[in-house]
A and B are shown apart, each in its own frame.
Chain A
Amino acid sequence: MSFWTFLQQNWSEMLTLVRQHLNLVLISTSIAVVIGIPTGILLTRKQALRNPVLGIANVMQTIPSLALFGFLIPLPFIGGIGARTAIVALVLYALLPIIRNTVTGIVGVDRNVREAAVAMGMTDQQILWQVELPLAMSVILTGVRVAMVICVGVATIASAVGAGGLGVYIFRGLRDVGNTNLLLAGALPAALMALAADFSLGLLEQRFSLEAKTEKKRAPILNKVVLAVIALVLVGGTYGTWRSARSRTQLLAGAGRVVVGSKDFTESVLLAEIVAQMLEVRGVIVERQFELGGNLPHDALVAGRIDLYPEYTGTAHTAILHHPPITDPRAVYEQVKREYAEKFNVEVSPPLGFENTFAILVRGTEARRLNLKTISEAAPHARGYRAGFGQDFMSRADGYAGFSKAYGLKFAEQPREMDLSLTYIALASNKVDLIAGNSTEGRIAAMDLVQLEDDRRYFPPYEAVYMVRKDSLARMPILGKMLAKLANAITTEEMRQLNYEVDANKRGPAEVVREWIKRKGF
């Protein structure tokens, strides 16, 4: 599909994402301006506060955005998932340049000019409003410009907490191997937006610079128009936040709604979509908070921001409950069920019928050349292999460290740690020689990759289940009935097929799920 056809087909969705993105950026920049400029002014008055406050703002900016989202999710009022959390994070990032430039701008006002103002008998307020702020304005605006460009960039990560925006396309594009259209459709508008913000605020900045102040160029009306526009944006931004905050509370209060979450890969989205559609068929209003990154779905569930999401027993056992890996599926399931009830007041649904475990993959050509079937058979060749693993695999207890020990693996070099979806491309294009993928990944066959058998039974079972809040079950009895219905309803082959439809055949998850539900008669 050419980029142009893609645009024609997805035009309206893209516009929605652009609008969401723009909203995030404008609202958070406005809030950052409203907080940052007064803070900056205060810091020029109270010198003792300057270094501590700038220090804190500095630290804020060094926190990786995904980590910051992780911190924010469990917090009351400002946390949760959705636009509000994203805005809080964006504001935190935008504050530093605005505060710093406000301080620099005001402190940088010519000493003679300030002294003259004092000597004229101007009050501190008059000096601030009539002398310091106008003279510092272009420097302050530079700060706002930098903040806004930062926001455009960071807002692409906001899709990880379900805030939408162009990041949705970018993340989808990263997972959907080789779909450059998605990447372009996300990255291009974001880049244009950053350029536009940079350019328009640059113009505004020039208007306030001293060079622009000459007898001939004076245009007070235009200045007033510019100020009016700024005021409008600020008011609009504040109203927007109020609105989104309000709709959020209404949503949580609504007893007839269910918020379904998912992790940020196709299979999780599909499983979440299955529940969502089955609920909708039964007249329940569903809010989708899909594609949440990392362990955000778990945090969101515990914080009560979502009602349920699909999970794997092995992940819950090792990554969330921090137990050493064990291999008996029954024992894992029982332990997870018990501890989730105790610790999080969360119910674990009956297993869905398939496992999604780590699949150690090599290229088909290599497997056939050496006649490799199992990991043990591949182990002697590993010295010449370069490995590439997702962040997940590198960090978890049942991941790389134990795996390499169990099979006595030594690679040619330290494994590359990269985005999981990128490891498939890296393997297929000869950049690495061995990866740990997902066993239900639809494209394994399509990309001519071969899964090596876990002959020493190292990997713990990863049975798919839903994690549901117990209070949600009590509130909506229909949830429990439905989850019972889904017990053992999906085989590994079926899941692989569903994944393949979405990942390889580029079909929408909603459509694929609709067909499946029909076929199954749910």
Chain B
Amino acid sequence: MTGVDNNPLVEFRDVSYSVPSLPSPIISDLDLKVEQGEILVLLGESGCGKTTTLKLVNRLLTPTTGQVLVEGKSTTEWDPIRLRRRIGYVIQDAGLFPHFTVERNVGLVPSLEGWERARVKERVIELLSLVGLDADKFDQRFPRELSGGQRQRVGVARALAADPPLLLLDEPFGALDPLRRASLQREFGELTRRLHKSAIFVTHDLREALRLGTRIALMHAGRLALVETPENFLNSNEEHARAYLETLQLRDDEEGFTEGDR
């Protein structure tokens, strides 16, 4: 993505999405911009439409009304294959291909793009070390021979493989234990900053949102409730934001209490 034009990387214009089987739309009147280099966190409880929002970007879904623009062009005008190969995608439990080795999983998109084998191999080694995995040790393993955290690292490496300007992440660290989650979050934050990647990151965990997001978009019942930087979010008086912040408060109190108790 050139960034020469002043188009936002991703722009939702008055987007709604509904399915015939459900009476109310999953997403209503969504307007949102994601700028170059930004990590936008979509925060909300289960069923609020954040995953659907994500899938509208790489055209796994298309809007019922309105438009989603990527680099200034509506997703429906993009060749879906080209569009998707320019967007990295990481989902919970990684969605790795169970019958591919780590090497084939990570090298998939470059291979599809017709890279030469040696170049793919080189790229895989580079990416694995980028996500903190020793290529010699891991590249011939199959996903089921990896721990949850290792799988997630491979998932991130795979998403980065063809050097896409944008990453979509759907609760990528949701299935991990808290310690491992924290370290992966930290590494991921550093990585995106270092590589100047933009990302849309879906989570229901406020701490994760605060730690990773440059902006936080809070969703409730298919609508945007609030879009703010983490600092402003902490001071927001919006009702859904307050509800989230209270749980944070509560948990902090609990943790404080436990610590004091020791």
Task: Tell me if chain B binds chain A.
Answer: yes
In the assembled complex, the Cα of A509 lies from the Cα of B51 at a distance in Å of 78
Contact call B145/A214, Cβ cutoff below 8 A: yes
Is the C-beta of B108 less than 8 angstroms from some C-beta in chain A?
A: yes
Contact call B99/A120, Cβ cutoff below 8 A: no
Contact call A116/B98, Cβ cutoff below 8 A: no
Closest Cβ of chain B to A365, distance in Å, is: 71
Q: How many residues of A contact B (CB 8 A)?
A: 22
Closest Cβ of chain A to B116, distance in Å, is: 18
Is the C-beta of B112 less than 8 angstroms from some C-beta in chain A?
A: yes
Segment of B41-49, B87-95, B182-190, B198-206 in the binding face: B87-95
Q: Provide the residues of chain B in CB contact with A240, threshold 8 Å.
A: none
In the assembled complex, the Cα of A389 lies from the Cα of B41 at a distance in Å of 82
Contact call B91/A213, Cβ cutoff below 8 A: no
User: Which residues of B, 143-182, contact A by the 8 Å Cβ criterion?
Assistant: 144-145, 158, 168
Q: Provide the residues of chain B in CB contact with A215, threshold 8 Å.
A: 101, 140-142, 145
User: Counting chain B CB atoms within 10 Å of each CB, which of A118, A119, A213 scores highest?
Assistant: A119
Contact call A115/B140, Cβ cutoff below 8 A: no
In the assembled complex, the Cα of A358 lies from the Cα of B203 at a distance in Å of 85
Contact call B60/A210, Cβ cutoff below 8 A: no
Is the C-beta of A476 less than 8 angstroms from some C-beta in chain B?
A: no
Contact call B96/A135, Cβ cutoff below 8 A: no
Contact call A121/B97, Cβ cutoff below 8 A: no
Q: How large is the interface on B (under 10, 10 to 19, 20 to 34, 35 or more residues)?
A: 20 to 34
In the assembled complex, the Cα of A215 lies from the Cα of B95 at a distance in Å of 19
In the assembled complex, the Cα of A492 lies from the Cα of B255 at a distance in Å of 107
Is the C-beta of A131 less than 8 angstroms from some C-beta in chain B?
A: yes
Is the C-beta of A230 less than 8 angstroms from some C-beta in chain B?
A: no
Is the C-beta of A123 less than 8 angstroms from some C-beta in chain B?
A: yes
Segment of B1-9, B65-73, B77-85, B221-229 in the binding face: B77-85
Is the C-beta of B109 less than 8 angstroms from some C-beta in chain A?
A: yes
User: Which residues of A, 108-125, contact B by the 8 Å Cβ criterion?
Assistant: 110, 112-113, 115-123
Contact call B112/A122, Cβ cutoff below 8 A: yes
Which among A115, A120, A122, A135 is the interface contact of B98 at CB below 8 angstroms? A135
Contact call B85/A213, Cβ cutoff below 8 A: no
Is the C-beta of A45 less than 8 angstroms from some C-beta in chain B?
A: no
**Given the contacts A112-B95, A131-B97, A118 and B145 also touching, CB distance less than 8 Å:** no
**Given the contacts A112-B91, A112-B93, A115-B91, A121 and B98 also touching, CB distance less than 8 Å:** no
Closest Cβ of chain A to B81, distance in Å, is: 5
Q: Provide the residues of chain B in CB contact with A116, threshold 8 Å.
A: 89, 91, 95-97
**Given the contacts A116-B97, A210-B99, A218-B140, A121 and B91 also touching, CB distance less than 8 Å:** no
Contact call A121/B99, Cβ cutoff below 8 A: no
CB-CB nearest in chain A for B109:
A120
**Given the contacts A135-B98, A210-B98, A218-B140, A120 and B91 also touching, CB distance less than 8 Å:** no
Interface SS majority for chain B: mixed
Closest Cβ of chain A to B86, distance in Å, is: 8
Instruction: Mark contacts of A178-213 with chain B using CB atoms, 8 A cut-off: 1 yes-contact digit, 0 otherwise.
Output: 000000000000000000000000000000001001
Closest Cβ of chain B to A106, distance in Å, is: 14
CB-CB nearest in chain A for B82:
A121
In the assembled complex, the Cα of A80 lies from the Cα of B99 at a distance in Å of 46
Contact call B99/A135, Cβ cutoff below 8 A: yes
CB-CB nearest in chain A for B137:
A215
Which among A118, A121, A134 is the interface contact of B109 at CB below 8 angstroms? A121
Closest Cβ of chain A to B151, distance in Å, is: 12
Closest Cβ of chain B to A179, distance in Å, is: 52
CB-CB nearest in chain B for A137:
B99
Q: Provide the residues of chain A in CB contact with B89, threshold 8 Å.
A: 116, 119-120
Contact call A120/B60, Cβ cutoff below 8 A: no
Closest Cβ of chain B to A125, distance in Å, is: 11
Closest Cβ of chain B to A118, distance in Å, is: 6
Residues on B facing A (Cβ under 8 Å):
58, 60, 80-85, 87, 89, 91-93, 95-99, 101, 108-109, 112, 140-142, 144-145, 158, 168
**Between-chain CB contacts (< 8 Å), 11 pairs:** A113-B97, A115-B60, A115-B95, A116-B91, A119-B84, A120-B109, A130-B97, A213-B144, A214-B142, A215-B101, A218-B140
